[in-house]
Amino acid sequence: MTAVTVLGLGEAGRLYALGLAEAGADVRGYDPYTDARDAGIRQFDSLAESVDGTDLAISLVGAAAARSVAEQILPLLPSNAVFADFNTAGPEDKAALAELSAGYGVALVDVAVMAPVPRAGSRTPLLVSGTAADRFAALMEGFGTPVETVPGAPGAAAGRKLLRSVFMKGLAGLVLECRAAGKAAGAEEWLLAEIAGELGPDGPDLVARLLQGSETHAVRRAHEVADSLAYLRGLGTPAWMTEGTFSWLSALAADGTGPT
């Protein structure tokens, strides 16, 4: 049985832990700030115990804590384990983690989660890059997770996700701006219906998800768009739309509602 350690048992971590366990993995959880035992997760109080003999360690602790957690776990991981960083960050951050991991002789893979985890749990589509990408893909596909490998070192998958975020978060920013303008003009419902119609049969649900998701996850998404902005600037391409998206999400993060 494949042993998988999930580091970070927030919403996404819990869903991965439960989904992988249901798919047949020997799942261990670790999170010093959250107790997920009531959810049915086998959680350890000791980081060393949680990774003892593990085949795959998944970090879902958030970009701000990713390096500090890596520094704690890498000396404890078996040399044949794969360390998978699922946290959304820029390519340079992922490359720095890979360099740190290499110093301990542990293979790190850069994993980009390509859709909201609550929709499909551990079966959410993933992109992965790094020298152990094929090993990681084989492990996860064995549990029913769709994985696409991206050529290149850690950071390549992160870059692809940030490019996609330019569109997806930009679409959300555009809908937010249209809603505000429609409300000011007394035509909010009409305008949102027009937008939904242009987006096809699933348009109404998509518009609702874009609005609700932006409001619920504004802080995290603002950080993601900030990373996208930095990536675009590094590429030397215009980022006019993404700057507007960042303004909208930052406003939502600041007061929970944004300008309406």
Average of per-residue pLDDT values in the chain:
96
Q: Which residues contact 73 (CB under 8 A, 6 or more apart)?
A: 7, 47, 51, 57, 59, 83
Q: Above 90 in pLDDT, residue 149?
A: yes
Q: Above 80 in pLDDT, residue 258?
A: no
Q: Above 90 in pLDDT, residue 256?
A: no
Q: Which residues contact 169 (CB under 8 A, 6 or more apart)?
A: 221, 224, 225, 228, 242, 245, 249
Give Cα 248 distance to the centre of its chain: 20
**215 neighbors 207 (Cβ within 8 angstroms):** no
Question: pLDDT, tens digit, for every residue of 98-144?
Answer: 999 999 999 999 999 999 999 999 999 999 999 999 999 999 999 99
For residue 80, the model assigns a pLDDT of: 95
For residue 189, the model assigns a pLDDT of: 98
pLDDT band for position 257 (50/70/90)?
low
pTM, full prediction: 0.91
Question: Averaged over 223-228, what is the pLDDT?
Answer: 96
CB atoms within 10 A of CB 196: 18
Question: pLDDT, tens digit, for every residue of 209-225?
Answer: 999 999 999 999 999 99
Q: End-to-end CA distance of the chain, in Å?
A: 52
For residue 259, the model assigns a pLDDT of: 47
111 forms bridges with which residues in the sheet?
128
Question: pLDDT, tens digit, for every residue of 132-141?
Answer: 999 999 999 9
- Structure tokens given for 152: 């290149």
Secondary structure of the chain in the HEC alphabet?
A: CCEEEEECCCHHHHHHHHHHHHCCCEEEEECCCCCCHHHCCCEECCHHHHHCCCCEEEECCCHHHHHHHHHHHHHHCCCCCEEEECCCCCHHHHHHHHHHHHCCCCEEEEEEECCCHHHHHHHCCEEEECCCHHHHHHHHHCCCCCEEECCCCCCHHHHHHHHHHHHHHHHHHHHHHHHHHHHHCCCHHHHHHHHHHHCCCCHHHHHHHHHHHHHHCHHHHHHHHHHHHHHHHHHCCCCHHHHHHHHHHHHHHHHCCCCC
User: CA dist 192 to 50, 132, 174, 175, 209, Å?
Assistant: 48, 45, 11, 8, 12
Question: pLDDT, tens digit, for every residue of 168-198?
Answer: 999 999 999 999 999 999 999 999 999 999 9
